[in-house]
Chain A
Amino acid sequence: MTGQLLFFAFLAAVTIVCGIAMILADNPVRSALYLVLVLFSVALLFLTLHAVFIAAVQIIVYAGAIMVLFIFVIMLLNLGTPERIVDRLKPQQALGPVLGVVFVILLAFIISSLPTGKQPPLSNTLTGPFEIGMSLFTANWIFPFEIVSILLLVAAVGAVMLAKKRI
C-alpha cells in the first residue's frame, strides 16, 4: 500500500536526519537526545516489521536503560558544556564523510545486486512474547541464553571493579 510506503519513508527520513544531527552536534547531551530519537524511530520500524516484542524491548532497554547510563555518565563527568576540543585530525574529519558516502553507495550497490531467491509469502502474524519465549527457551537457543546471562554477570562485576576507586 502507498500508505505503508509513506510511513516507512517518514521513519527512514527521521532516522537518517537524526543520525546525522547526532554526529554533527558539538554538545554530547544533544547527541544523546538525537540518539533517543533514532532509537525510537528504529523501534517503530521494528513495529512495521511485525516484531512487537523486539520493538518494546528496544524502547525499554535502549531508550530507557542504556540512555540513562549515558546521560548519567555525562552528568557525572560534567561533560555537558565541553571546551572546544582541539582536533589534530583535520584531514580525517574532511575525509571521513567522503569515504562514508562512498561506503554507503558501495553497500547499496551490493544490496541491489543480491540474488532475490524464492521468498515465502509474508505471514501476518505478530511476533509477540509468546513466539519469542517458545523459541528462546527450547533446544536451539537455551544454551546461548545461559551464556549471555554469565556475560552480563561478568560485565556487571567488571564495571564495578573498573569504576571503583579502591577495591
Chain B
Amino acid sequence: MPIPLDYYLILSAALFTIGVVGVLIKRNPIVIFMCVELMLNAVNLTFVAFSRYHNDIGGQMMVIFVMAVAAAEVAVGLGILVSIFRNRASINVDEIDLMKG
C-alpha cells in the first residue's frame, strides 16, 4: 500500500502557505526571496507527485524548467538588491517606495 497522493498534495499546500505568509510578514527582501523559493519548491513537489501517480514524465520536465527559471530569477533579483543597497544603503522593503502613488 503506497502513500496516497493526497498526502503529498497537502504537504505541498502547507509549504506553499508558509511561503506566502513569509512573503507577507517579512521585511527583509533576501528572506522574501527565500520564501519565493519555498513556494517554487512546493509546486515542484506537486509536479513530481503527479508525475509519479499518473505515470507521466512531463511533470518532471516541468520541474527542470521551474528550477532553471528560479535560478534566473534569483540571479536578477539579487542583482537588483545589490544595486538598491549601493544607492540607498538600506534594503528595508518599507523604505523602497519610489513608485508609491
Total inter-chain residue pairs, C-beta < 8 Å: 217
Contact across chains for A144 and B65 when beta carbons are under 8 A apart? yes
Q: How far is the CA of A73 from the CA of B72 in the complex (A)?
A: 15
Residues of chain B contacted by A1 (CB below 8 angstroms): 1
Least Cβ distance of A147 to chain B in Å?
Answer: 9
Q: Which of A88, A154, A159, A163 contacts B94 (CB 8 A)?
A: A88
Contact across chains for A108 and B82 when beta carbons are under 8 A apart? no
Residues of chain A contacted by B76 (CB below 8 angstroms): 155, 158-159, 162
Least Cβ distance of A164 to chain B in Å?
Answer: 9
Q: How far is the CA of A161 from the CA of B79 in the complex (A)?
A: 8
Contact across chains for A23 and B15 when beta carbons are under 8 A apart? no
Point out which of B13, B48, B49, B76 has the most chain A C-beta atoms below 10 A from its C-beta: B48
Interface majority SS (helix, strand, loop, mixed), chain B: helix
Q: A51-B52, A62-B67, A152-B72 are in contact. Are A132 and B25 (CB under 8 A)?
A: no
Contact across chains for A162 and B80 when beta carbons are under 8 A apart? yes
Contact across chains for B28 and A132 when beta carbons are under 8 A apart? no
Least Cβ distance of A161 to chain B in Å?
Answer: 8
**CB<8 Å pairs between A and B, sample of 30:** A8-B3, A12-B7, A15-B11, A16-B11, A16-B18, A20-B18, A23-B22, A39-B41, A42-B45, A46-B45, A49-B52, A51-B51, A51-B63, A62-B37, A62-B41, A66-B37, A74-B30, A77-B85, A79-B91, A85-B27, A89-B27, A96-B24, A101-B17, A119-B53, A120-B54, A159-B79, A162-B79, A162-B80, A162-B82, A163-B78
The 7 closest A-B pairs by CB, nearest first: A155-B72, A162-B79, A23-B22, A107-B13, A159-B79, A100-B21, A96-B24
User: Which residues from chain B sit less than 8 Å from chain A, CB to CB?
Assistant: 1-3, 5-11, 13-22, 24-28, 30-31, 33-35, 37-38, 41, 44-45, 48-49, 51-55, 57-58, 60-61, 63-65, 67-76, 78-83, 85-86, 91-92, 94
